[in-house]
Amino acid sequence: ETPQQHAAFEARILRGEKIEPGDWMPAEYRRQLIRMISQHAHSEVVGMLPEGEWITRAPTLRRKTILIAKVQDEAGHGQYLYHAAETLGISREEMLGALLSGKAKYSSIFNYPTMNWADVGMIGWLVDGAAIKNQTMLAGCSYGPYSRAMVRICSEETFHHKQGKEMIVAYAQGTPEQRAMAQDALDRWWWPALMMLGPHDADSPNSGALTKWGIKLKTNDEVRQEFINEHAPELLEAGLTIPDPDLHQDESGNWKHGPINWDEFWAVVNGQRGLNKERLGARQAAHEDGAWVREALDAYTARQLGQAAD
Ligand code: ACO
């Protein structure tokens, strides 16, 4: 890598050009993107587990069909993202191997358990709401395949967000049991949703390189602030109580949160707390159960090639 190549690359970023798979790029740009896109893909795939558990227990056929469609969308998002990462030279097998062996990270949020039916709505409203804030920003990122995947994913996430909000608002205005269920879900998901947007800027080692190269257009704290500014007033308007006694709106109109428990965040990320073992166990079992499909595909390909040779 020469200084001239770096300068030409950075000039392209400054001009707002998209970097495409065959283009020259610094090795560190490639490494950062593979890290981030593969973690993102794993999050989509693992993210199917907490909600998937509720498909058989959805209270009505309408809610069940919505949930099935949503979980299926997450599988599709995983597919686009694995494809986007493959354009950078890593194989699907390497990425899946890293996930199944526990080496790869995926979003902390999916290590939390879903304890009641309203959790499904709260995940749609808060977790997908936070994901949309982060991913609308990433839709403008400098790497073409990632930015294009984000455009489609964000449109689908917007439906997920709306169905979650609709569900929680309905329960918040429902029977005392439904209201209690919605409040219980908010009590457990509020802080994890704030944490999922990543550590504070001062503790975010990757932000410098990502911002310099136009991968992240906003910092973790900026995205978190946008998320709280949108969601805090809406949750309060729905009649729910946000579990943060320090939450208040400052003179500039921003909603300020109290201290975040980062020890909990790191314990959940590192698998010392939460359902990391269960989530990985479910993925490993699904991979083993799917071995016959991969074998059948290989046998089919071999037969097709054999016939082509005849
Ligand atoms: N869960 C698990 N690990 C996290 C999380 C989280 N919520 N947030 C940060 N981390 C990890 C980072 O991956 C990094 O670890 P690494 O260097 O070993 O990879 C470390 O904590 C330090 O954090 P940062 O330096 O701030 O990491 P980064 O600059 O990559 O910012 C962020 C984190 C905002 C999550 C970024 O990676 C991102 O935008 N990723 C794409 C979006 C995404 O993955 N969303 C997943 C959930 S959305 C959904 O699936 C519905």
User: Do residues 163 and 127 make contact, with C-beta atoms less than 8 angstroms apart?
Assistant: no
Q: Is the CB of 129 under 6 A from ligand 1?
A: no
Rounded Cα–Cα distance for residues 283 and 134 (Å) = 25
Please state the length of the chain: 310
The residue whose C-alpha atom lies closest to atom 27 belonging to ligand 1 is 206
Max CA separation in the chain (angstroms): 78
Which ligand 1 atom sits closest to the C-alpha of 207?
Answer: 29
Rounded alpha-carbon distances, angstroms, from residue 123 to 18, 44, 98 = 32, 13, 26
Q: Is the CB of 40 under 6 A from ligand 1?
A: yes
Rounded Cα–Cα distance for residues 35 and 31 (Å) = 6
Query: How many A from CA of 3 to the centre of ligand 1?
Result: 29
pLDDT tens track, the chain, 310 positions: 899 999 999 999 999 999 999 999 999 999 999 999 999 999 999 999 999 999 999 999 999 999 999 999 999 999 999 999 999 999 999 999 999 999 999 999 999 999 999 999 999 999 999 999 999 999 999 999 999 999 999 999 999 999 999 999 999 999 999 999 999 999 999 999 999 999 999 999 999 999 999 999 999 999 999 999 999 999 999 999 999 999 999 999 999 999 999 999 999 999 999 999 999 999 999 999 999 999 999 999 999 998 776 6
**Which residue matches tokens 């439904």?**
178
Backbone phi and psi for residue 249, each to the nearest 5 degrees, phi listed first:
-95, 130
Q: Is the CB of 185 under 6 A from ligand 1?
A: no
Question: Which token pair is 22?
Answer: 């065959």
pLDDT of 307 reads 79
User: Do residues 78 and 41 make contact, with C-beta atoms less than 8 angstroms apart?
Assistant: yes
Residue 243: helix, strand or coil by DSSP? coil
User: Do residues 220 and 197 make contact, with C-beta atoms less than 8 angstroms apart?
Assistant: yes
Angle at the Cα of 40 (from 65 to 132), degrees rounded to 5? 60
Rounded Cα–Cα distance for residues 106 and 116 (Å) = 23
Q: Is the CB of 47 under 6 A from ligand 1?
A: yes
Query: How many A from CA of 240 to the centre of ligand 1?
Result: 29
pLDDT of 300 reads 96
Rounded Cα–Cα distance for residues 36 and 235 (Å) = 30
Rounded Cα–Cα distance for residues 138 and 37 (Å) = 11
Residue type, position 102, single letter: G
Which of 189, 204, 216, 279 to probe ligand 1 with, by most ligand atoms within 8 A of CB? Answer: 204
**What sign does the dihedral 43-44-45-46 (CA atoms) show?**
positive
Q: Is the CB of 280 under 6 A from ligand 1?
A: no
The residue whose C-alpha atom lies closest to atom 13 belonging to ligand 1 is 105
- Checking ipTM against 0.90, whether it exceeds it is yes
The residue whose C-alpha atom lies closest to atom 22 belonging to ligand 1 is 204
Rounded Cα–Cα distance for residues 98 and 225 (Å) = 32
Q: Is the CB of 86 under 6 A from ligand 1?
A: no
Burial of 204 (C-beta count, 10 Å sphere; 0-12/13-18/19+):
middle
Query: How many A from CA of 230 to the centre of ligand 1?
Result: 21
Q: Is the CB of 77 under 6 A from ligand 1?
A: no
The residue whose C-alpha atom lies closest to atom 24 belonging to ligand 1 is 204
Query: How many A from CA of 36 to the centre of ligand 1?
Result: 7
Q: What domains appear along the chain, each with residue ranges and CATH number?
A: 3-274 (1.20.1260.10)
3-state SS, 88-124, equals CCCCHHHHHHHHHCCCCCCCHHHHCCCCCCHHHHHHH
